[in-house]
Amino acid sequence: MKEQLEQIRARALAELAGGATAEQIENVRVRVLGRGGEITDIMRRMREVPEAERPAIGQLANQIKRDIEARIEGLADSHRLAALEKSLSEGSIDVTLPGVRIPRGRLHPVTQIMEQMLDIFVEMGFEIVFTRDIEDDFHNFAALNFPPDHPAREMQDSFFLSGGLLLRTHTSNGQIRVMEGRKPPLAVVCPGTCYRRDELSVRASPMFHQIEGFMVDRTGIVTMANLKGVLAEFARSFYGSEVAVRFRASYFPFTEPSIELDVSCVLCKGAGCRVCKHTGWTEIMGCGMIHPNVMRAVNYDPARYQGFAFGFGVERAALLKLQVDDMRLFFENDLRFLAQF
Ligand code: DAH
């Protein structure tokens, strides 16, 4: 029985060598130390041992049990250590590495310019009202004094939708939308997107932005002097206090008289260059006193109310202000371009 015990020990310790896997260790544990295991079996057969030898055999059996348990404990420790070391080396984090940079977004340059412009009008007391992109003929043309088949409509060829609707060709529909729902005094700017059947080019785009504005009050309160004051103030705030402004006679169906506003070329400061076609001036907007027919279209009595209106393209202004020479850049959404503003 003594030899049997020594054999059990020798075999178990041989199997519990340094390289034993967790599974092998568990197998040895069950086979040797388990309930129906080899050591238990020896204990049960103790009766077969002569009485005098029993204590020695019992001690030996317990000793072997403790040896094997100690061995298993030792192996389990080194297994845990190895596992820890493995996970540390595989999943290691180098806290000194630079992090993944999340690029910072920003507003589109056209939006930035539009907000700068609106800020100037808001400071002068104007209210911002957004109206609609899909419009009917009345609000885009007829109420703005474009008679049916009038050649002025051809200056603004639109995208027509079904049901007599179209994509607005200018933000002047905002004048009609606001005035027909409210009574003066009004000082309003209507920013927004406009659409025309133009080819995309260096100077034009079929989709672009405008800001329309108008101020209306009782006759004699909002005059042409106010128009000149407000718009000259806007031009100087936006392009710089050194710019010169000039008002030129023009034609629009919805204003009488109609005017165009020029500023001295911001690139050559009036000396003459390619951008201003060597005139020293750049046109920045159309404006004028609101036509009596427009007042009638929104049920205002033209003898009682008077006001001015203006409208201009945001991209054109952005080209000048940001010194960009191709409008297409604004719509290509190339981050290398956009990130510069
Ligand atoms: N709606 C005109 C356009 O798109 C711009 C304009 C000119 C608006 C004169 C006005 C104005 O209100 O008085 O070309």
Say if ligand 1 is within 6 A of residue 172 CB: yes
Residue 56 reports pLDDT greater than 90: no
Q: Which residue of 231, 254, 295 sits with most ligand 1 atoms within 8 Å of its CB, as the best mutation to test the pocket?
A: 254
For the segment 75-87, the average pLDDT, to the nearest whole number, is 85
Phi-psi region of 116 (alpha: psi -120 to 50; beta: other; left: phi over 0): alpha
| 141: Cβ contacts below 8 Å, ≥ 6 apart | 153
| 186: Cβ contacts below 8 Å, ≥ 6 apart | 127, 178, 179, 214, 215, 216, 217, 307
- State which ligand 1 atom lies nearest to the alpha carbon of 308: 13
Say if ligand 1 is within 6 A of residue 253 CB: no
Residue 35 reports pLDDT greater than 80: yes
Residues 309, 126: contact at Cβ < 8 Å? Answer: no
Query: How far is the centre of ligand 1, averaged over its atoms, from the C-alpha of 220 (Å)?
Result: 23
Atom 5 in ligand 1: residue holding the nearest Cα:
311
Query: How far is the centre of ligand 1, averaged over its atoms, from the C-alpha of 91 (Å)?
Result: 65
The per-residue pLDDT for range 185-215, each reduced to its tens digit, is 999 999 999 999 888 888 889 999 999 999 9
User: At 309, is the secondary structure helix, strand, or coil?
Assistant: strand
For the segment 57-84, the average pLDDT, to the nearest whole number, is 86
Q: Cα(109)–Cα(307) distance, rounded to whole angstroms? A: 32
The per-residue pLDDT for range 92-141, each reduced to its tens digit, is 777 888 888 888 889 999 999 999 999 999 999 999 999 999 999 999 99
